[in-house]
Structure 1
Amino acid sequence: MEFTPQQLLQYNSTDPSTPFYVAIKGCVFDVTTGKTFYGPGGACAMFAGKDASRALAKMSKNDEDITSSLDGPSDKEIGVLADWEKKFEAKYPVVGRVVS
């Protein structure tokens, strides 16, 4: 399934009747089973419905870092993102890709 960034935003955990999705490097994961983290009030709720690549690479929860842009992160941060990507792949099903 393909999602525009605007379509992905519909899965931002504000509607409990829809699944919660987070994208990493354009790959969309269904993180609904992690609703304590990605659901309302969860520690990572700000990532739901978005591509959180830069934020995960930088280990940041700042709004300006919650983006798919990978301009600027160091090689070490790109490695951190690769680790997150592996964790997501092992734990959550892939449901699609973000397209522009």
Structure 2
Amino acid sequence: MRKYTSFEPKEPVVLEPPKNQPFTLKQLSEYDGNQKKQVYVSINGTIFDVTPKRELYGDGGRYHMFAAKDASRPLGKMSFDEADTDSSISWDCSDLTEKQISTKDDWYTYFSKRYNIVGKVTDIPKK
């Protein structure tokens, strides 16, 4: 088994215990950082509060296209393409390669070491 030390934050992060609050994709779509709300990104249906990095994930940020949706697909593909980041398909990993699935899972690990888990998406369609 490989050990990923590169996933460890440079500065220690104190995380709260994971929460299991249910969210629909529609509810998640409200957490884009506008209206002074938090910024959430979901991977594999797990929702992370990325508000501490609002400058990256909020409106105008380099990664804003991942906010307020399940971003499993674009993260796995390492894609900023609208065809992948569109919220109507951004959760769909059915056509990802093994390498892309591994990349997506690496992003999950990265996020889980930096951001609080605030809930789970309850209505991601099964493919």
Structure 2 counterpart of 1:51: 70
Identity %: 39
Q: Please state whether the residue corresponding to 1:85 is helix, strand or coil.
A: helix
Given the alignment of the two structures, is residue 7 of structure 1 paired with residue 20 of structure 2, yes or no? no
The correspondence for 2:51, drawn from 20, 32, 54, is 32
1:95 shift after superposition: 0.2
Instruction: Report what 2:101 is aligned to.
Output: 78
RMSD, aligned CA: 0.8
**Ranges in structure 2 where 5+ consecutive residues have no aligned partner:** 1-20
Gaps of 5+ in 1: none
How many angstroms apart in 2 are the aligned matches of 1:25 and 1:40?
Answer: 23
2:79 equivalent to 1:60: yes
Q: Distance in 2 between the 1:31 and 1:62 partners? A: 21
Q: Which amino acid aligns with 2:69?
A: K
* Greater Rg by CA: 2
Runs of 4+ in 1 over 4 A off after TM superposition: none
More helix by share: 1
CA displacement at 1:14 relative to structure 2: 2.2
The aligned residue for residue 96 of structure 1 is: 119
Q: Under a length normalisation based on structure 2, what TM-score does the superposition of the two structures give? A: 0.75
